[in-house]
A and B are shown apart, each in its own frame.
Chain A
């Protein structure tokens, strides 16, 4: 194995935490495959001074650290994406969150309660009521119809026939599969099957929604369509989401925050633009290489702050400077057309309608040039 770099400082950089309480958190979670891996973690906490050295020792002893010293927090209502190449431990870590895979060491806190200390019954309860999961290969029951598949989680709970039918039909409508209720999975296309998987995972109204590469098995066109639909669903549902993908562009498209994994470790956590603009390691930078900067850099990062004359003319479109306004979280790609018609600065107005700054064409060009340069020299 190659040398294990130490990204300890890089992991928890100063990402702006979105609002909302912490819903689920991983603390120093390890999953080690091999003979008797618990022996390496005497107190079971997974905390160690030098994780790199421990990983090396595990590998030398013939163990596979599929997830190593993973820590992150997901806040309520957030879309948290875990991104990494295949084999980097993404599936392992998301399965640790529901204990489909039993972590070797560490803590999983769900609403502050340690999931790893729960007995089987409590865990079953949590899975039945709080969690939903979508799988890369759909995981549909081949012997059940679409309707029966979607209603399956409710059947397991002992919900009576008519109630679960009603709920399942609702979910089927939500994912746009009306009319296929009596079809069997093998009679559906991949995209349709994954819609069934999504409907099933939502049928119990989970607070937490895990998706393990849900669109990776689909054709590119269908994949894009499903991504759009996923974003649409989330604006309605406001779930707390852990979304796994190996596709960096997909991560950028849907994530509030992204964690990047390599060889079982998290190498960087941050918002999409943070990751693109300040990649922590060479590995991360390589992902960002082909990303068009205009899609990632937001107005907030290039605007000139201040300039605020609160109360004087905030709010309305037709302010004293005239011309259009933009929001801080818009990407440069979205505001560029404005400069095509006029090169006057654009006013930046936040969600409450207050004016928080302005963007000039020069500022935009400067930011693009800076990042372009940085990328070249790296």
Chain B
């Protein structure tokens, strides 16, 4: 066991001596109490004084100014070097008549996934033509088309480096964590400053953002090459290079292709996000600008283009990954004739030539005529209007209920949230006393029954609800998080949590951080309640599982922007919309992990329970869920990551918090502010990650399981 805290330390006080974990938690509760009592007399406990904030943002900007002044020629050179292949690709895609491009894609799709995928690709691309978004789509494609190979190359090289050298790996792995947890918007700022405005920013941002999955999969793939394969390569007298290119890379290829698939999706998603910079006439810009103008019909139509594009890219790259896994190549075998082995290449070439010829003959094929464009934006707008008018009472009721009774109390606490306007009554002194007495009695009852930790959780929960996440005195908040980190992962994790929180505190990001934590926490809780229930259902019902799978896949492959459209349409700008958007995006991991965890519980354990006469509910709660818990915890971890990522995107529709800060910083090209806010989000994500990972590892070790499988 690697953690500092022993398992039996989790048992409450043993005769005579108080065990250290319990001691720490009692101290935390006591400390919190002191903070609450002192907050009137010492206001710095309630809110960290601005005067104490270190001007990290200003320092960063000063440094950055110098760096930019001295190195920007270098970065500008890189920018123009990257710009021309992209512009060339765009020119080619825009110049080529659409039937030519579609033919090539259909051939590629057929090679990746057979006739069904080819047909899907054909229909999808036709949609882009008919709706009149062909050129915008091709612009986006040009960005992706350059950034994906760039990402793949960078990711592969970094992966190989990390695989070869333990020292490189020690640098690369934390870097990956950072690259994936720092929100995408925050990347854009330094890139903007260094590379200047222009589409190349999106290109570089997406190449960086999309590289980590490639790195990870490359490392995993290379590490998993069976030792016997490597030994046999050595026995056959392979040179280093032969071993790498003929043995290791081909053996790792299926995993590497999974990396290519994930990288492609990430690149597309980032290209769409980077559209916020504007200036390239791509489809992301179309969505964003129409969304800002509340032209929902238009943004829906263009959002569908993005969603479809994501689906094609996902299916095609996943298809190639599958192909490399199930090498079933009878028709590609070395003995087969040339025209059979290269049939897709030949078909693509023929299709392209034919398409270009068609374009020469009939202008219809060169440019889809305006007259033939089917663009039902107005009817869609009217439909949305109609729905909103018809259902406004119900929508408002739901929205207000959630806002007043859930979101507000959690954010600012019952203390401030309860007012005649929201709850319909004032909080009186007897009520407050009653609340606390009830909490104390509940805790006492739990403690009496030996559930000391239950009692502590009850007290902490009651405090959070009363003061709100934003209203908790920061020293108490900090103490609780550090204690949690220590309990789960020992001193190192606690040290990390303390460092991270201090950074956030000292850079002045504390207040927005609490708002982000509250919103994300609420969204995660909702995701887990709903998604967990769906996951349990799916684990016990194959039909539900089969129905949910494509929905999950679609939600996951969808660039986050697209999810905002329907939410905005129904609920307008505001915190409630942000919550719904985050929930929609982050609900997938709990469904998947809960189902996966439950389905993989050892059948013997379930059988034994059934044999002993457990009811299905008993089996679920006493056998399956506890055994699946480590996997489910990893799902929780993922949910938090997804939630935080979406939170920043949701800042577009009006949230306060770190996401909004990043977004504002982008608007002002304020690198320092963006960095502080972005790093704060990353740190929150990492602290949550460390705590949950450590906890999950301990649980799995205690159960003798390997939770790593699910990841």
Q: Which of B217-257 contact A (CB under 8 A)?
A: 226, 228-229, 231-232, 234-239, 242, 246-247, 250-251, 253
Chain B residues closer than 8 Å to A157, beta-carbon distance: 237
B333 interface residue, CB < 8 Å from A? yes
Chain A residues closer than 8 Å to B239, beta-carbon distance: 124, 156
B165 interface residue, CB < 8 Å from A? no
B330 interface residue, CB < 8 Å from A? yes
With A100-B231, A133-B232, A145-B333 known to touch, is A139 a contact of B226 (CB < 8 Å)?
Answer: yes
A249 interface residue, CB < 8 Å from B? no
User: Closest chain A residue to B243 by CB distance?
Assistant: A156
Bound CA span A128–B233, Å: 10
User: Closest chain A residue to B236 by CB distance?
Assistant: A153
Interface string of A189-203 (1 = CB under 8 A from B): 000000001001100
Q: Give the interface centre of A145, A156, A184 by most chain B CB atoms within 10 Å.
A: A156
Chain A residues closer than 8 Å to B226, beta-carbon distance: 137, 139
With A141-B247, A141-B251 known to touch, is A131 a contact of B235 (CB < 8 Å)?
Answer: yes
Chain B residues closer than 8 Å to A98, beta-carbon distance: 234-235
Q: Give the interface centre of B231, B232, B330 by most chain A CB atoms within 10 Å.
A: B232
A-B contact count (CB 8 A): 71
B327 interface residue, CB < 8 Å from A? yes
How far, in Å, is B210 (CB) from chain A's closest CB? 26
Across the interface, do B229 and A156 meet the contact criterion of CB distance under 8 Å? no
Cβ 8 A contact of A135, one of B231, B253, B333: B231
Chain A residues closer than 8 Å to B335, beta-carbon distance: 182
Across the interface, do A156 and B253 meet the contact criterion of CB distance under 8 Å? no
Across the interface, do A137 and B228 meet the contact criterion of CB distance under 8 Å? yes
How far, in Å, is A35 (CB) from chain B's closest CB? 15
How far, in Å, is B202 (CB) from chain A's closest CB? 36
Bound CA span A54–B246, Å: 42
Across the interface, do A143 and B237 meet the contact criterion of CB distance under 8 Å? no
Cβ 8 A contact of A141, one of B237, B250, B330: B250
Bound CA span A145–B332, Å: 12
With A127-B237, A128-B237, A139-B231 known to touch, is A184 a contact of B327 (CB < 8 Å)?
Answer: yes
Cβ 8 A contact of B236, one of A127, A137, A143, A145: A127
Across the interface, do B251 and A156 meet the contact criterion of CB distance under 8 Å? no
Bound CA span A26–B232, Å: 22
Bound CA span A153–B235, Å: 9
A327 interface residue, CB < 8 Å from B? no
Bound CA span A139–B251, Å: 11
A30 interface residue, CB < 8 Å from B? no
Chain B residues closer than 8 Å to A136, beta-carbon distance: 228
A243 interface residue, CB < 8 Å from B? no
Across the interface, do B238 and A156 meet the contact criterion of CB distance under 8 Å? yes
A152 interface residue, CB < 8 Å from B? yes
- With an 8 Å Cβ cutoff, the count of chain B residues facing the other chain is 23
Chain B residues closer than 8 Å to A139, beta-carbon distance: 226, 228-229, 231-232
Cβ 8 A contact of B250, one of A135, A143, A145: A143
Across the interface, do A140 and B237 meet the contact criterion of CB distance under 8 Å? no
- With an 8 Å Cβ cutoff, the count of chain A residues facing the other chain is 33
Chain B residues closer than 8 Å to A128, beta-carbon distance: 236-237
A138 interface residue, CB < 8 Å from B? yes
Bound CA span A197–B242, Å: 19
Interface string of B304-334 (1 = CB under 8 A from A): 0000000000000000000010011010010
Across the interface, do A124 and B237 meet the contact criterion of CB distance under 8 Å? yes
Bound CA span A253–B251, Å: 36
Chain B residues closer than 8 Å to A184, beta-carbon distance: 327-328
Q: Which of A125-164 contact B (CB under 8 A)?
A: 125, 127-129, 131-133, 135-145, 152-153, 155-157
Chain A residues closer than 8 Å to B238, beta-carbon distance: 156
Interface of B is mostly: helix
Q: Give the interface centre of A100, A141, A153 by most chain B CB atoms within 10 Å.
A: A141
Across the interface, do B234 and A127 meet the contact criterion of CB distance under 8 Å? yes
Interface string of B664-690 (1 = CB under 8 A from A): 000000000000000000000000000
How far, in Å, is A83 (CB) from chain B's closest CB? 21
How far, in Å, is B432 (CB) from chain A's closest CB? 61
How far, in Å, is A214 (CB) from chain B's closest CB? 11
Chain A residues closer than 8 Å to B247, beta-carbon distance: 141
How far, in Å, is B512 (CB) from chain A's closest CB? 48
Across the interface, do A200 and B333 meet the contact criterion of CB distance under 8 Å? no
Bound CA span A143–B329, Å: 11
Chain A residues closer than 8 Å to B324, beta-carbon distance: 143
Bound CA span A75–B231, Å: 25
Bound CA span A137–B228, Å: 7
Cβ 8 A contact of B237, one of A156, A182, A197: A156
User: Closest chain A residue to B330 by CB distance?
Assistant: A182
Interface string of B484-520 (1 = CB under 8 A from A): 0000000000000000000000000000000000000
Chain B residues closer than 8 Å to A137, beta-carbon distance: 226, 228
User: Closest chain A residue to B231 by CB distance?
Assistant: A100
User: Closest chain B residue to A203 by CB distance?
Assistant: B236
Bound CA span A157–B239, Å: 10
Q: Give the interface centre of A125, A140, A143, A182 by most chain B CB atoms within 10 Å.
A: A143
Bound CA span A144–B231, Å: 16
Bound CA span A339–B6, Å: 71
Chain B residues closer than 8 Å to A140, beta-carbon distance: 229, 232
Interface string of B355-399 (1 = CB under 8 A from A): 000000000000000000000000000000000000000000000
Across the interface, do B228 and A135 meet the contact criterion of CB distance under 8 Å? yes
Interface string of B56-81 (1 = CB under 8 A from A): 00000000000000000000000000
How far, in Å, is B18 (CB) from chain A's closest CB? 35
Cβ 8 A contact of A133, one of B235, B242, B250: B235
Chain A residues closer than 8 Å to B242, beta-carbon distance: 156
User: Closest chain B residue to A183 by CB distance?
Assistant: B330
Bound CA span A95–B241, Å: 22
With A143-B251, A145-B333 known to touch, is A125 a contact of B228 (CB < 8 Å)?
Answer: no
User: Closest chain B residue to A101 by CB distance?
Assistant: B231
User: Closest chain B residue to A128 by CB distance?
Assistant: B237
Chain A residues closer than 8 Å to B328, beta-carbon distance: 184
Across the interface, do B236 and A156 meet the contact criterion of CB distance under 8 Å? yes
Bound CA span A204–B251, Å: 23
Chain A residues closer than 8 Å to B333, beta-carbon distance: 145, 182
Chain B residues closer than 8 Å to A141, beta-carbon distance: 229, 232, 247, 250-251
Chain A residues closer than 8 Å to B330, beta-carbon distance: 182
How far, in Å, is B245 (CB) from chain A's closest CB? 11
Bound CA span A75–B638, Å: 60
How far, in Å, is A110 (CB) from chain B's closest CB? 14
Q: Give the interface centre of A100, A128, A140, A142 by most chain B CB atoms within 10 Å.
A: A142
Across the interface, do A152 and B235 meet the contact criterion of CB distance under 8 Å? no
How far, in Å, is B144 (CB) from chain A's closest CB? 28
How far, in Å, is A243 (CB) from chain B's closest CB? 16
Bound CA span A124–B242, Å: 12
User: Closest chain A residue to B335 by CB distance?
Assistant: A182
Across the interface, do A138 and B228 meet the contact criterion of CB distance under 8 Å? yes
User: Closest chain A residue to B328 by CB distance?
Assistant: A184
Bound CA span A182–B250, Å: 17
Across the interface, do B235 and A132 meet the contact criterion of CB distance under 8 Å? yes
Chain B residues closer than 8 Å to A156, beta-carbon distance: 236-239, 242, 246
Known: A133-B231, A135-B232, A143-B251. 15 other contacts (CB 8 A): A98-B234, A127-B237, A131-B235, A137-B228, A141-B229, A141-B247, A143-B250, A143-B324, A153-B236, A155-B246, A156-B236, A182-B335, A184-B327, A197-B232, A200-B236
Residues of A within 8 A of B (CB): 95, 98, 100, 124-125, 127-129, 131-133, 135-145, 152-153, 155-157, 182, 184, 197, 200-201, 204
Nearest 9 Cβ contacts at the A-B interface: A128-B237, A139-B228, A139-B232, A153-B236, A143-B250, A135-B228, A127-B237, A133-B235, A137-B228
Sample of 28 A–B contacts (CB below 8 Å): A95-B231, A98-B235, A100-B231, A100-B235, A124-B237, A124-B239, A125-B237, A127-B234, A127-B237, A128-B236, A128-B237, A131-B235, A133-B231, A139-B226, A139-B231, A139-B232, A141-B247, A141-B250, A142-B251, A143-B253, A153-B236, A155-B246, A156-B236, A156-B237, A156-B238, A156-B246, A184-B327, A204-B236
